[in-house]
């Protein structure tokens, strides 16, 4: 227990981290010089760092700790399961109680006839499964040319070669030879930055119809699936207008295209319902899940498919699987997490109580001089920073410069907010109390005031 109770002094931890640890999505040399912030404990919605500072985690870790930190029940279940059966695979005609119970529980929770789960260790792996599964599905149905998967620019679907190819992050594609063949990307429904003079509703339809145009361009016989997050999370909490999803659904239904809803962030209460698909009335053929499935306590993800897809895939050997598919300890922890979400009515609390409470305060940030737009659904929200809010103008500085400055102030105020470009993002644990919501918003306001002052002082309130 020495790592928890009696760790090294911060400077020594930072030096060792800089010497030996390569951080994801990080310029490591620069971070090594600056020194990383070392998190040593967490409870509820608060993190504690190695200097004893308490930080309000406005991001639920990485969009995942839906039930909050420090739930002993999950630790107890993990310990018991480790003692009983720490590992066994499900490849060679074997199974085990935790994976059976979790698959059955998910089938109950899922909308429609999404009744069959292929487990993975993460969202990236689950989306890789989806690529192979939809192509194999169409091949088994005698349509092997239906291979292309259409996704969206600025989507995030993971970091493996396949899932990052599905994603539409240019910075990722620029490193390592992506996208892989037969993946294309249409525009995202990001009204604030791309909607121009259209109303949000017009723009929603306009973007959805890009899917139809892309199917026509590729030829329906060549398209396997469309994948999208109900709300783009890492893209900057992009909430589509209400015209968007019904039109996407119509197109997928009419054109025989499988619809994959990537619910890795939106699932398990985040949007105020069990799934983003419930919130937007989407009927996906496949759902990608991870993160909130275990509230991040252990790594687990999965692809949930309809009866029909399971039947087609089941007619042949699907040559695919991960060592940790259906890991018993991860499954047991996920089950316990789902029990807590349900029995403590945490999804209801997010929809009816803390969600509306926080939304009201968050949306009021739009009145701040630095904020061009505030948006929020359920318990995920964003504010767009702008030097000229009336015109939704971008800053003259490189994209992300101002966002980074705001994030540094936020860290200084002991609030974790993420920046995506010059938008600030929150995605707090669903168990946030009213008092904690007040503290979150107070610290966000303080951050905006400090950032605004800094930008004015340095002549940076300038439009591009
Ligand atoms: N789909 C979505 C919608 C995600 O948000 C993944 C898939 C991949 O899941 P794994 O478990 O393989 O990470 C994600 C992950 C960020 C950030 O900067 C977001 C994610 C991961 C890393 C960074 O916001 N989301």
Percentage helix, strand, coil for the chain under 3-state DSSP, each rounded to 5 = 45, 15, 40
Binding site membership of 276 for ligand 1 (Cβ less than 6 Å): no
pLDDT of residue 7: 84
Binding site membership of 121 for ligand 1 (Cβ less than 6 Å): no
Binding site membership of 263 for ligand 1 (Cβ less than 6 Å): no
Phi, psi of 384 (to 5 degrees): -95, 125
Decide: pTM greater than 0.85.
yes
CA of 61 to the centre of ligand 1 (A): 11
Q: Report yes or no: 304 and 117 within 8 Å, Cβ to Cβ.
A: yes
The residue among 127, 119, 147, 130 whose CA lies nearest residue 321 is 119
Q: Which atom of ligand 1 is nearest to 262's Cα?
A: 3
Task: Please write the tens of the pLDDT for every residue from 47-103.
Answer: 999 999 999 999 999 999 999 999 999 999 999 999 999 999 999 999 999 999 999
Tokens 């590992």: give the residue: 87
CA 218 to chain CA centroid, Å, is 29
The residue among 252, 244, 285, 263 whose CA lies nearest residue 112 is 285
Binding site membership of 282 for ligand 1 (Cβ less than 6 Å): no
List of the chain residues with pLDDT < 50: 1-2
Q: Which atom of ligand 1 is nearest to 160's Cα?
A: 12
* CA–CA distance, 296 with 429 (Å, rounded to integer): 11
CA 330 to chain CA centroid, Å, is 19
CA 304 to chain CA centroid, Å, is 17
* CA–CA distance, 372 with 429 (Å, rounded to integer): 25
Q: Which atom of ligand 1 is nearest to 159's Cα?
A: 12
- Within 8 A by CB and 6+ apart from 186, the residues are 150, 151, 152, 153, 207, 210, 211, 213, 214
Secondary structure, 3-state, 264-302 = CCCCCCCCCCCCHHHHHCCCCCEEEECHHHCCCCCCCEE
Which residue ranges form the domains of the chain, and what is each CATH number?
37-67+345-457 (3.90.1150.10), 73-343 (3.40.640.10)
* CA–CA distance, 300 with 113 (Å, rounded to integer): 22
The residue among 285, 178, 181 whose CA lies nearest residue 226 is 285
Q: Report yes or no: 186 and 211 within 8 Å, Cβ to Cβ.
A: yes
* Radius of gyration of the chain measured on its C-alpha atoms: 22
Q: Report yes or no: 176 and 216 within 8 Å, Cβ to Cβ.
A: no
pLDDT of residue 1: 41
How many other C-beta atoms are found inside a 10 Å radius of the C-beta of residue 410? 26
Probe target for ligand 1 pocket from 58, 63, 163, 260, with the most ligand atoms within 8 Å of CB? 63
């Amino acid at each position: 227990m020495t790592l928890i109770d009696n760790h090294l002094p911060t400077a020594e931890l930072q030096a060792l981290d800089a010497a030996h640890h390569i951080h994801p999505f990080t310029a490591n040399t620069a971070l090594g010089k600056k020194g990383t912030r070392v998190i040593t404990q967490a409870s509820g919605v608060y993190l504690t760092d190695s200097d004893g500072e308490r930080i309000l985690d406005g991001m639920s870790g990485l969009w995942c700790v839906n039930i909050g930190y420090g739930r002993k029940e999950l630790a107890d279940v993990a310990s018991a399961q480790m003692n009983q059966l720490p590992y066994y695979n499900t490849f060679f005609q074997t199974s085990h109680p935790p994976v059976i119970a979790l698959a059955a529980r998910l089938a109950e929770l899922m909308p429609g006839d999404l009744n069959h789960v292929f487990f993975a260790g993460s969202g990236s792996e689950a989306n890789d499964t989806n690529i192979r599964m939809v192509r194999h599905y169409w091949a088994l149905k005698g349509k092997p040319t239906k291979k292309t998967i259409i996704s969206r620019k600025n989507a995030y679907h993971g970091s493996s070669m396949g899932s990052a190819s599905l994603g539409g992050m240019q910075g990722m594609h620029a490193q390592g030879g992506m996208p892989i063949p037969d993946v294309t990307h249409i525009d995202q429904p990001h009204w604030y930055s791309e909607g121009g003079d259209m109303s949000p509703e017009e723009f929603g339809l306009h973007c959805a119809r890009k899917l139809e145009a892309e199917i026509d361009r590729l030829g329906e016989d060549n398209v396997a699936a469309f994948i999208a997050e109900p709300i783009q999370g890492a893209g900057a909490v992009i909430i589509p207008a209400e015209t968007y999803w019904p039109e996407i659904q119509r197109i997928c239904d009419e054109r025989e295209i499988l619809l994959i809803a990537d619910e890795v962030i939106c699932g398990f209460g985040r949007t105020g319902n069990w799934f983003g698909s419930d919130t937007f009335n989407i009927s996906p053929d496949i759902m990608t899940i991870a993160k909130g499935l275990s509230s991040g306590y252990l790594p687990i993800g999965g692809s949930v498919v309809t009866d029909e897809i399971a039947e087609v895939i089941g007619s042949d050997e699907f040559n695919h699987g991960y060592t940790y598919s259906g890991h018993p300890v991860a499954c047991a922890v996920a089950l316990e997490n789902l029990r807590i979400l349900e029995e403590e009515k945490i999804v209801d609390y997010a929809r009816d109580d803390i969600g509306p409470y926080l939304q009201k305060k968050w949306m009021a940030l739009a009145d701040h001089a630095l904020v061009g737009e505030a948006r929020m659904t359920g318990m995920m929200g964003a504010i767009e920073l702008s030097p000229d809010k009336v015109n939704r103008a971008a800053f003259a500085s490189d994209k992300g410069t101002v966002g980074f400055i705001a994030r540094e102030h936020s860290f200084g105020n002991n609030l974790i907010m993420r920046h995506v470009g010059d938008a600030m993002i929150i995605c707090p644990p669903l168990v946030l109390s009213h008092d904690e919501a007040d503290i979150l918003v107070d610290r966000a306001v303080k951050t905006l005031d400090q950032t605004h002052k800094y930008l004015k002082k340095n002549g940076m309130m300038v439009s591009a």
